[in-house]
Every structure is written in structure tokens, then in C-alpha cells.
Amino acid sequence: MKNILTIAAFTVRELLGFRVTRTLFAITALLPLLAWAFSQLFMLEIAKVQLDVMVGGAYLLGVVFLLSTVVTLLGKDIGEQVCYFFLPPPIERYSYVLGRFLGSVVVLTLLYTLLLVGVELLIWISLQYDTSIHRHGINWIAGIMIGWTAWYQTISLMGAVFLICAWATGVAEMLVFSSSAAFIYWVFPPILAGMKGRSDADPLVSESLKQSLDGLSWFFPDMTGGSIVLAFEHGISISNIVIMQHALGHLGYTALMLGLAIIIFSKRSL
């Protein structure tokens, strides 16, 4: 455990030292301004538009963070054999993977904490100064839900990125496969949901196609965090069970990806 924490602390220092990470923190700090400016184009539920921009920012920043810093770090470690520095005997390889993962999660958490401060600031300004039409349904919990859902969904993608990096051979390969994974995570769940919706409603679609679509959906983490956040932005309450199920599903997916990453990394030749 001590080894994992030491590698995690080292990872945090390394990631915070990257210029890209500092730029991402600066963009996160400026995001509320962008959200405010964009919302002025709309008429009524302006506070909700601001939160939508923050949601979009949270997901995009998460993906950029993973691709530009975490993949670079792991690519350097594995591609240039820097990881030997962390693996003198008796340190096990799993300590390295878990330490790197934990450190990356800490930096992502710091980034999303800053984002959460921005979201809550926008909510506070809206509650103080906007008319009830402009801030309909907005409350403090919406801000917390934005940070929380984006956090665990990005962590599940981080699990997949670790699995890819544990298997790939260099930065270029890691970047291509991780970008593809991020693209698939972003694009496929809504397409599958849309296709499933249509096939369920269409009696001409065969049962086997419906079952194939159901099966395919199992391969991707459920990205319906977007609809949970949207409901909270409108002040609609969702049962705690649904929220917990969604979060636990993602954390389970992360654990699975990380477990596979440890197995592959332990067996690969470096």
C-alpha cells in the first residue's frame, strides 16, 4: 500500500508539472465566463444553459486530460522504459499500475473540484440576481451532480485508457487506441440507445436484431449520466437508487478494466 501511495504522490507531482495540465486548470477556471457569455444568446432558462456549457466542458476537459496527460505519461513510462525507475524489487507491477491510476484520479478530482466551484458560483449568481423564469429549477444539488457524474464517467474511461496503455507499445499506439476508445464511448451509446428506441417501436425489426443491440449495449458503459444531470438542472428529482446504480455500474466497469490492465501489464515484457 505504501508503494502505491508513493507512486501516486509522484504521479500527482508529475502531472501537475505538465504545462497541458496547468492550461486545463486555467481553461476550467475561465469556463464559467464562457458559459455566461453563451447563455446570453438564449431567452428564458438562461441558468440551465450555463450549466449545460459546464457539463459539456466537464466531459471535454476529462477526455482532453486523459489523452494529453495520462496517455503521454504512460507512453513515456512504457515506451521509453521509464517505469523501471518505479519497479525495483520487491515492488510489484500492480503497485505501479494502481499508483499511476490513483495519482491520475487525484489530479482529475482537483480539476473537477475547480469546475464544481465554477458551477456553484454560476448557480449562486443565478439564485441571487436572475428572475425566477431565468433560473427555473436550478439548485445547489444540480452543480454537485454535474461534478459527480462527469467524475465517475471520466474515471471509467480512464480505466479503459489504462487497459489500452498496459497492452500497447508506444505513445503513438496508445494515443490512437485511446482516442478511438474515447470516440466510441462518446458516440456509440447514444446511437445504440437511438437504434434500440427505434427497433423497440418498430414491429418489423426482428427479435434477433433487438437482442444483438441489447448485447452490444453491454460492451459500453452507460453514458446516460447526461440525462441524470439534465433532470437535476430542471429541478426534477431522480431516485437515489437509479443514481447509485449508475455510479456503481461505472465504478464496476472501472474495476474490471483496471483488473485486466494489471493482469496484462504483469505479464508483458518491458
Partner 1 sequence: MASIKEKIIIVVLLISGMLLHVQGKNSGTLQEQDENTLFLTGPSSLLVQQAIAGPCLGLGAESNILSVFSVYWSIKEKNLSEDDQQKAWLYLYRYLQQAQSFDPWYWDTYRLTNGLLAYQESYQSKAVDILAQGAKARSWDWEMPFTAGFLAHDQLKDDVRAFHLMKLAINREGAPPMLVGLAARFLNKTATESDTVDFLRAMKKSLPKGYTQYIDKRIDELLHGGF
Which residues make up the interface to partner 1 (CB under 8 A)? 41-45, 48-49, 51-53, 55-56, 59, 133, 136-137, 153, 186-191, 193-195, 223-227, 229-231, 233-234, 236
* Minimum CB–partner distance for residue 222 and partner 1 (Å): 10
Residue among 55 and 71 whose Cβ is closer to partner 1: 55
Residue among 57 and 99 whose Cβ is closer to partner 1: 57
- Other C-beta atoms lying within 10 Å of the C-beta of residue 31: 23
Residue among 106 and 230 whose Cβ is closer to partner 1: 230
The residues near 76 (Cβ < 8 Å, ≥ 6 apart) are: 82, 171
**φ and ψ of 232, to 5 deg:** -65, -35
Residue among 239 and 269 whose Cβ is closer to partner 1: 239
Picking from 103, 101, 83, 82, the residue whose alpha carbon sits closest to that of residue 92 is 83
**Dist CA 222 CA 57 (whole Å):** 19
* Minimum CB–partner distance for residue 96 and partner 1 (Å): 31
Residue among 18 and 186 whose Cβ is closer to partner 1: 186
* Minimum CB–partner distance for residue 120 and partner 1 (Å): 18
* Minimum CB–partner distance for residue 15 and partner 1 (Å): 24
Long-range contacts of 262-267 (CB under 8 A, 24+ apart): 262/93, 262/94, 262/97, 262/98, 262/166, 264/163, 264/166, 264/167, 265/93, 265/94, 265/96, 265/97, 265/166, 266/92, 266/93, 266/94
* Minimum CB–partner distance for residue 223 and partner 1 (Å): 5
Residue 43, helix vs strand vs coil: coil
